[in-house]
A and B are shown apart, each in its own frame.
Chain A
């Protein structure tokens, strides 16, 4: 460089930095136009109790609100489920509230279906359109029907929907979402009520595919209990064994991991049952309607050596786990989603749960507690879902009203949901985001966010008495949205007649108040302040009735299909649950606990298998099944069986806001038909083949040297 150029450049740099100092540095101070009615003092926050509806666990929350804005969510210490703790999904509720892509006004489709073109309309027009479709369904008239599809509902809302349906006439209610605890219907206990595992008081815990630290039923509750089981007792540290093909976060927390071939986990339970049986008094079994001799015959073939052969786990490891279970009391066995989703799932579930009966761990300290629910749940089974889809496909449905479900994303293409939608003249969606399914709707009705809603959150697991968390609208709704129950009430008023008579409340809040504290405002305020109605003591447990034995079949040999030699396991992501959490950037940025991957999907593959297929860490691979192919970055993961590959569910949305749209892969596309057991739409494993495409997998992990700062890969 010449001296002259150097001087010119330094002069310019100096002038530039001097100019930067001339910038105006003041921020703005924006006052209220009119102060909030409750006289909010700036800088001083109020904490309101409410409940989280991000998953069916129903944790209690406290929300910090100052100057009319929700700022922080924490766990409610008085709530018996989460006792002041909270998971990241609950923490992210503020991002749902303030999300830039929330639906703000009612919309009407203006382009072809699925194009995502909508125009704004008024609530009056939306309600009138909907009412016109609902009027001809009155009982007595012949004609087509309508379907209302929601997640499983409880308490007052369930009752309101039932009354609304009766008033309207031919309105069928389908209450189904992918990870609802509906699968527990298949349980040995024949029990759909409250279930609670007394993990904190047990001494030996065995989990068969129940990832209770990641996602199983009530993860915050069970995490808390697990911590106490390990460290709270001065002389005892509870032991824990995990059975399942993949090292989940739960498996990684265990003392012993038995990586059984998928579909054979239950044989280990059989080996345990065989060894336990001589200890059990016949009258205990007889009380449950079981015959000792029959059980002995059933478990006879499953010696440790045979089971080792079947599961592909070392015999010494199985022997150690069996010996512990025989010796240590109290002991508890939990069976979960990863077991039930197998093709032999329901039978395997019962085979595993038999162990608790043999251990004497039903309704005893350190065991499993069953409590009769206050009101039966209204969850629909997989069979009912399939019937409804057949009704839609046959063109016998005039109106499909969806609320809080995303079947386009959560059902594999084999279910034919998209084709069924084409047969329905009017599809109405009540949602907070323009998600995969809402794109196909004709009429979109914006729903309140969790922090704007009133309602109940009634846990179906993790409690031993009727627990009702109260949802409190902690802030005024930000947009022109309406909560789903208030939408039904407004519709009933528009319809009048039988529906108007059946649903006569003025608002959902008023009905809620009436239900829990009729004519007693002080009591209502007290309930709201503590966050709900919590039982002072445990309800009497429900005794076991006649149980039916599980007789699972063995899965086909691992190499049965030479075209698809590997087994793909799809597991619920601990951040996104069934996928709806993917809209929130905090959850996207949350590193997966086992791989530290962020903002995307990946394929976990055993290093041995990867070496055989010539795949390196971070390579782009193609995963193909009979149904189709997807492309994923490979993550070399020693914690998985060599013949199994795994990928989380939750990414790969079309829609659901700017942070989720088009990011990652929806592995359900690889599932061919509605198969799989236990009410799961996804088979526990899908036969696949994997091949390497290139080295550009673009895997982003927090553990990577460049970390999650590789923003060019994130694209935001």
Chain B
């Protein structure tokens, strides 16, 4: 009896550790990856939510190219030559411009190698940006809302009756 208790006492922490690890694995702890601090604290809430600027004003190639494109520094500066010039974040933007340096944004979404994801086809098929990217108009700090894994792609393709042939994406 005493021996069984001893074994149970020894096994219990081990079990707890295993359960803990499983829980940890499933918890969304990669916060820094999903919502990293950017070189300039750009707010989608302000630009999209409050100013109601269309996504395509900045991400200009999204409906013509596989790549949505991020705005060149010149485009940011075009507005901020006149708007909110004296805010600290805009001063940093001006500094990048003056030093001839592009802004090294942290990347949020990455499609794995050997996978072809054309933005324009999804957009032209009538999907909304927010379907994948979430409600950016509410995000002061932009965060990743989906994990770009194959199962996620397939679910959506099945749902919309899109092709799930290997060659559709892996080419």
Interfacial residues, chain A to chain B (CB-CB below 8 A):
24-35, 41-44
Contact = CB atoms under 8 A, between A and B. Distances in A.
B36 A41 contact: no
A35 B71 CA distance: 9
B100 A33 contact: yes
B70 interface: yes
A29 B66 contact: no
Contacts of B100: 33
B32 to A, nearest CB: 6
B72 A28 contact: no
Given A29-B70, A31-B73, A24 B61 contact: no
The 7 A-B residue pairs whose C-beta atoms are closest, nearest first, are A43-B67, A43-B65, A32-B72, A43-B66, A29-B105, A42-B67, A27-B107
19 contacts: A24-B32, A24-B33, A24-B36, A25-B30, A26-B33, A26-B36, A29-B104, A30-B102, A30-B105, A31-B102, A32-B72, A32-B73, A32-B74, A33-B72, A33-B101, A35-B74, A41-B61, A43-B61, A44-B61
Contacts of B70: 29, 31
A43 B117 CA distance: 11
Interface string B83-121: 000000000000001001111111110100000000000
B73 A42 contact: no
Chain B CB within 10 Å, residue with most, of A25, A26, A30 = A26
A interface, over-half SS: loop
B72 A44 contact: no
B37 to A, nearest CB: 10
Given A24-B36, A26-B108, A33 B65 contact: no
Contacts of B107: 26-29
Contacts of A25: 30, 33
B72 A34 contact: yes
B30 A41 contact: no
Interface of B: 30, 32-33, 36, 61, 64-67, 69-74, 97, 100-108, 110
A24 B30 CA distance: 9
Nearest to A34: B74
Nearest to B72: A32
A35 B33 CA distance: 28
A26 B38 CA distance: 11
Contacts of A26: 33, 36, 106-108
A10 to B, nearest CB: 12
B77 to A, nearest CB: 9
A31 B67 CA distance: 12
A27 B108 CA distance: 8
B119 to A, nearest CB: 8
A33 B107 CA distance: 17
A32 B36 CA distance: 21
B105 A44 contact: no
A407 to B, nearest CB: 41
B61 to A, nearest CB: 5
Contacts of B73: 31-34
B65 A41 contact: yes
Contacts of A28: 104-107
Given A31-B70, A33-B101, 15 more contacts: A24-B32, A26-B108, A27-B110, A29-B106, A30-B102, A31-B71, A33-B72, A34-B72, A34-B73, A34-B74, A35-B72, A41-B69, A42-B65, A44-B65, A44-B66
A266 B107 CA distance: 67
B102 A33 contact: yes
A32 B32 CA distance: 25
B61 A31 contact: no
Contacts of A24: 32-33, 36
Contacts of B110: 27
Contacts of B106: 26-29
Contacts of B32: 24
Contacts of A43: 61, 65-67, 69
Given A26-B36, A27-B110, A32 B65 contact: no
Chain A CB within 10 Å, residue with most, of B69, B97, B106, B110 = B69
B61 A32 contact: no
Nearest to B97: A33
Nearest to B74: A34
Contacts of B64: 41, 44
Contact of A42 (B30, B61, B74, B104): B61
